[in-house]
Structure 1
Amino acid sequence: MIMLCLTFTAILVYVDDLVLAGNCLEEINRINKVLDDAFRIKDIGKLKYFIGMEVARSSKGIALYHRKYVLDLLSEYDMTNAKPVTTSMDYSTKLSKDCAAPFQDIFLCRRLVDRLLYLTNTRLDISFAVGKLSQCLDCSTISHHQAVLRVLKYLRLVPARGLFFLTSFDLCPTTYSDSDWAGCLDTRRLVTGTCFFLGSSLVFWKSKKQVTVSCSSSEAEYNHTRH
């Protein structure tokens, strides 16, 4: 039996900051030396902070979270002392483009939703709510503004929540998915959600409004499995 050992190295670049990641330390050190010979770079050691994302290591695994980013966001919008809530949105309230009176400062809503979109890189728990809010940025209402503030109140409950990747060799893939029926009140289209795990570590998630209009909940589930 022939065993092939493949090495993989990725370089993440933001302005003048670089992050090297891979599965072979010798290869990372070699690339680091090549970059240093060409550009005289400074190696500051293991990654701890990168464009708002914090990295923490332990014997059990690696955690990625945006604690400082969340705290700065709460401070900027004067929500530091707001009463926290346990869910990111009020699921009994259905948001649509004409569910309430228009909100006067539409640019405030747009900027806040934009800030929350970046946060979804590590916060699966707000992805669905932020996705719903981002669909009505051209016609934000008072209800949408209240829903955005609710997301901030939810973030205040646990600002350091994020992703955790275990140092486990269990790479068994597992996928969970679900769909609703006519979840979008404006288009009557179904919304699907999917999350993908390697072992017990979440590596991918997505919610999407489908292009078809289903006439029943059974058809919605069938279209979900097709897409």
Structure 2
Amino acid sequence: MSSPTETHYKAVLRVIRLLKSSPATGLFFPSKGNFQLKAFTYSDWAACVDTSRSTTGFYIYLGDSLISWKMKKQHTVSRSSCEAEYRALAYTSCEIQWLSYLLQDFKATSSHPATLYCDNQSAIYIAKNPTFNERTKHIELDCHFVREKLQSGLLKLLHISSSHQLADLFTKSLSPAPFLSLLSDSLRHNT
């Protein structure tokens, strides 16, 4: 693993400045609400300058309350942005499945499938298309996993424009205007 670079330090300083400038920002959990899971998933293809691995990020809401979020470097190098997005879909689907099981244990289930938002049309097409071709063979396991969750009714996969993709907060270095816009959208979901 490489040593921290000036870019890493700048990123940490941006986070510290954000936290310092918004001390009243937090998470709100209402006493009543619905148990509908809603997730935003994204991947920044080949984001790591050292390994060319992509970064996966997701936000998951229960009703309007943010309950799970993560940013993680993918384990393998993806050969396309679609492949990186699809790996992010599979990773987020696993988290949704685990949360669904947890909600079932608490007898707090929803009658609707979880909604999973993705901004990559190709990844959505692959998830919904049962036919594989040579270009998708290397991601076949993830394809089968996500498609199985769609067909079982656990997930409903929808497209979202990149300008509203909340998971970008975790996966990209954004300039102040898009960052603050997405942060505002995120907080609006959590009210």
Give the TM bin, normalised by the shorter chain. 0.3 to 0.5
Q: Which has the higher contact order (CA 8 A, sep 6+)?
A: 2
Q: Answer 1 or 2: which has greater strand percent.
A: 1
* Higher-Rg member (1/2): 1
Q: Answer 1 or 2: which has greater helix percent.
A: 2
